[in-house]
Amino acid sequence: MSHFAPRHDAASLGTVGVKIDVVNGLSVKEAHAKIVDEHGRTLAKNDNVKSVGDTLSLDAQPLQFEALASLQGPLKLEIREPGRLYGSTVASCTLPLDAVLLPFEADVELPLQPKGSLKATIYFADRRPLYGLDLRAAAARGRNDVPAVVAACCACLDALPPAKQRGLYRVPGDNAEVSRVRDALDASRSFEDALRVVQSAEPSVVASALKLYLKELTPAVLRCSSRAYAAFTASQSPSKLRDAVRLLPPHAHSTTKHLFGHLRRVADQSEENKMTPGNLGVCFGPTLCHGDDDLSSMDAHNAIVQGLVEHFDSVFAPEVDAFDAHFDALATGDTLDKDGFEALAYALGCFPAVDADAFADLPRRCEDGRVSRDECRAWWARRGRATPPPLNAASYTMVAFFLNYDERRAGVLDDEGFAGLYQGLLDAGYQLAGPEALLAEMGGTSFRDFVGWFEGLCAAADVDELCAAADVVDI
């Protein structure tokens, strides 16, 4: 019988099963398997099984554990022999977290240390219903990081002629039919399965099933990030909405973009279907922003959805090349001086004390001591790392502020360093709230968290007002 780790957060991805088909190359009389997390806590174990020669088969007792949204690698799978005098672990291997979280079954063959190998099958032991499933988990099991329910319903409704879209989302579907479609979607295993379900239903039923799915997500799609939600409610101008959308976590961003692309197409046919951006705001405001403040914030929620529909093209326009955006924000002309290059490295998430190899392989300098865009790009390409998304224009000034206080050049400030940085911002004229609560939340913060905090302020406030009295630090 497997033993389960206690559930310590509400966002579960489902129950994962690991069936060890065969273990080769170990000289043991009997053994059992055990999976532990990065902190050494036991997630699952099975009972002792006798070996046959140097082959051990544990497939009759799959290991099962609940994969929580907070699950992080590496996970370790240990083969343990009872009764050994000096420790019972005879071999172990790293269990790939990517394979654990795949939405489908995966066969893996893993080398054991110090010797041997094992073959295993990793699968979701349960097919948790999609309705009410954590958005991150649903997106991972969906298509292009979009839950299958959202992708299938949007695809089905997009295929309708405008005449059949009249009153879409405003006129509810038959309750019994909506329940039937919901049950069928819960049982679907793929986007294709979900699409077959909704293609056999009336448009009003499909629309109601989609709204119901979004209504049952906790947190709501547009509240997956508290900073994003604060930015959404502060202003519905295209630039502010774009800033707010950038603050959403990836799975919420991809789902939001997909859904509002569909709603924009519905609104484009409003002369025939009567579903204007305002009407769609009324229909989806309570669905996408639901929370404890539903009644008091109803108008604001409707306005957020209306704004995202109206300004979809500009809010979700493709980002410019991220590296060029960072470089242009920090460069004078097409080159950087020494300080500018260090600021670029920080914006890219590369810090001298942490990435010593990167700073031992610096870009070649021009005769005047500056470095060119092409040399900087080649230096970054050699790192082989993804480029972080661009910052708001005002946030690049924060790079220089952070550098002034990061004496260790590690990209992290302790409480004292952050207190000095915060006071420096106040002294420079930035209009910020009192530091007490902020220090409690952000003390000992990383560069990325600090810039994220400032970007959240910029998205939720008037940047000109925030920086009105500030002496801008030259980089």
Please tell me whether residues 305 and 156 are part of one structural domain: yes
- Look at the chain and report how many structural domains it folds into: 3
65 found inside a domain? yes
Residue 157 in this model has a pLDDT that exceeds 50: yes
Per residue in 1-32, pLDDT tens?
Answer: 232 233 333 345 678 888 888 888 877 777 88
Please tell me whether residues 205 and 293 are part of one structural domain: yes
Ramachandran region, residue 51 (left: φ > 0; alpha: ψ -120 to 50; beta: rest): beta
129 found inside a domain? no
Per residue in 80-139, pLDDT tens?
Answer: 887 665 557 888 888 877 667 665 577 888 888 888 888 888 877 666 678 888 788 788
Residues above pLDDT 70, as percent of the chain: 84
Q: Domain with 378 in it: what CATH number?
A: 1.10.238.10
Please tell me whether residues 258 and 339 are part of one structural domain: no
Please tell me whether residues 338 and 224 are part of one structural domain: no
- Of 298, 315, 332, the domain-final residue: 315
Look up the pTM and report it: 0.56
60 found inside a domain? yes
- Of 77, 94, 124, the domain-final residue: 124
Q: Domain with 271 in it: what CATH number?
A: 1.10.555.10
Residue 471 CA to its chain's centroid (Å): 35
Confidence of residue 473 (pLDDT cuts 50, 70, 90): very low
Please tell me whether residues 298 and 345 are part of one structural domain: no
2 found inside a domain? no
Q: Which domain holds residue 265?
A: 135-315
- Of 25-39, 137-151, 223-237, 374-388, least confident by mean pLDDT is 25-39
Please tell me whether residues 195 and 250 are part of one structural domain: yes
Please tell me whether residues 63 and 147 are part of one structural domain: no
- Of 283, 315, 347, the domain-final residue: 315
Please tell me whether residues 114 and 209 are part of one structural domain: no
Confidence of residue 471 (pLDDT cuts 50, 70, 90): very low
5 found inside a domain? no
80 found inside a domain? yes
Residue 301 in this model has a pLDDT that exceeds 90: yes
Please tell me whether residues 96 and 176 are part of one structural domain: no
